[in-house]
Amino acid sequence: MISIDSEWQPVAFKEWQLVVDAILAGEQSVILRKGGIAEGKAGFQWQHDRFFLFPTRFHQQEEQVKTHADGRARTIRPVGVEEGQVRFPAFAETIATRRITSWEEVEALAPFHIWKEATIRERFEWGDEPGIFCAVIRSWRLSDPWVLEDRKSFGGCRSWIDLPTDEAGGWRDRLATAEPVDAACGGPDWGA
């Protein structure tokens, strides 16, 4: 069961839809992030340890991830919401976070995510200093996904999005019935 402080305000973390699908399938247990254009002067930070996953859609992501274990290409599937709506199918919490500056450490994370090596290397090398932020996560599938109307405040190249406190039936009941995802891929042993 997910334990949430009564003062917690819902936030979402933007991630590729294919990655969210892989997290929900137990094929991914880490999130790697360099930071978006709108992350500000300080760059990307793990600002929250609990968050909804906000699946983003753009077709180039299909070319930047590994195929399924059986060799099939990953494809963006329809999510069953109307135009102008956003579906939040998952919730996650960080188990451990760190900034990694060694490419060998990044390579060791390959079993725990679906990104192609070239995609991660590009992120790792982008900017003034090589490195990437990593979070090992625990995730839950919402049996009743939270569907919200899209809005301007959800846009932009940034990782974190504030969500409304109580809209479209609210989020508390959805978390109460969320099912834990078994990360069949395992995860890095960071002593957490």
Q: What pLDDT digit, counting tens, does each position of 155-174 carry?
A: 877 788 999 877 767 788 88
**pLDDT tens, residue by residue, 130-150:** 999 999 999 999 999 999 988
CA dist., res. 75 & res. 57, Å (int): 11
pLDDT of residue 159: 86
CA dist., res. 54 & res. 90, Å (int): 8
Which pair of tokens denotes residue 102? 């060694």
Q: For the chain, list residues with pLDDT below 50.
A: 192
- Number of residues written out for the chain: 192
pLDDT of residue 122: 92
List of domains in the chain:
11-180 (2.30.130.30)
Alpha helices in the chain, H assignment, sequence order: 17-24, 103-107, 117-125, 172-176
CA dist., res. 192 & res. 66, Å (int): 27
Q: What is the pTM of this model?
A: 0.91
Q: Give 170's contacts (C-beta < 8 A, 6+ positions apart).
A: none
Amino acid at 18: L
